Amino acid sequence: MSFGFLIAASLMSIAADARATGFQGADPHAVFIGDELWVFPTGGPGKQWGGNRLGAWSSSDLQNWKSRGEVINRSQVKWFEADGSKRHFLWAPSVVQSRARWYLYYSVGPQNPTPSRIGVAIARAPGGPYVDTGKPLLTGGKGFEAIDPMVFKDPRSKRTYLYAGGSAGARLRIFEMNPDMVSIKREVPVKQLPAFTEAPFMHERNGTYYLSYSHGRWKSSSYSVHYATSQSPTGPWRYRGAVLVSDGTRQGPGHHSFVRDPRSGEWLIVYHRWEGPNDKSTFAGRRNIAIERVTYGSDGRINSIRMTDGDSDSAPVVQQKEKREKPSSSDFFQRMFGQ
Model pLDDT, residue 266: 97
User: Are 91 and 27 within 8 A, CB to CB?
Assistant: yes
Alpha-carbon distance 307 to 316, whole Å?
A: 9
**Region 143-165: what's the mean pLDDT?**
97
Does the structure show a pLDDT above 70 at 306? Answer: yes
pLDDT: which is higher, 4 or 331 = 331
The band of 24, judged by pLDDT with boundaries at 50, 70 and 90, is low
**Region 60-79: what's the mean pLDDT?**
92
DSSP calls for 9-53: HHGGGT-S-HHHHS---EEEEEEEETTEEEEEEES-SSTTTTTTE
Model pLDDT, residue 125: 97
User: Are 34 and 56 within 8 A, CB to CB?
Assistant: no
Residue-wise pLDDT tens digits, 87-142: 899 999 999 999 999 999 999 999 989 999 999 999 999 999 999 999 999 999 99
Query: Is residue 2 situated within a structural domain?
Result: no
Residue-wise pLDDT tens digits, 177-187: 999 999 999 99
Alpha-carbon distance 95 to 97, whole Å?
A: 7
The torsion defined by the Cα of 111, 113, 115 and 119, in degrees rounded to 10, comes to -70
User: Are 104 and 87 within 8 A, CB to CB?
Assistant: no
3-state secondary structure 95-158: EEEECCEEEEEEEEECCCCCCCEEEEEEECCCCCCCEECCCCCEECECCECCCCCEEEECCCCC
Does the structure show a pLDDT above 60 at 14? Answer: no
Query: Is residue 324 situated within a structural domain?
Result: yes
**Region 52-60: what's the mean pLDDT?**
92
> The pTM is what?
0.87
Query: Is residue 67 situated within a structural domain?
Result: yes
What is the average pLDDT value for the chain, to the nearest integer? 84
Does the structure show a pLDDT above 90 at 16? Answer: no
Does the structure show a pLDDT above 80 at 54? Answer: yes
The band of 4, judged by pLDDT with boundaries at 50, 70 and 90, is very low
Query: Is residue 203 situated within a structural domain?
Result: yes
What's the domain range around 188?
A: 7-337
Does the structure show a pLDDT above 80 at 200? Answer: yes
**Region 148-156: what's the mean pLDDT?**
97
User: Are 288 and 320 within 8 A, CB to CB?
Assistant: yes
**Region 16-33: what's the mean pLDDT?**
64
Alpha-carbon distance 293 to 32, whole Å?
A: 15
How many structural domains compose the chain? 1
Model pLDDT, residue 236: 97
Query: Is residue 1 situated within a structural domain?
Result: no
Name residue 309's amino acid. D
pLDDT: which is higher, 309 or 143 = 143
Model pLDDT, residue 51: 84
CATH number of the domain where residue 232 is located = 2.115.10.20
**Region 273-297: what's the mean pLDDT?**
84
User: Are 188 and 218 within 8 A, CB to CB?
Assistant: no
Alpha-carbon distance 200 to 177, whole Å?
A: 16
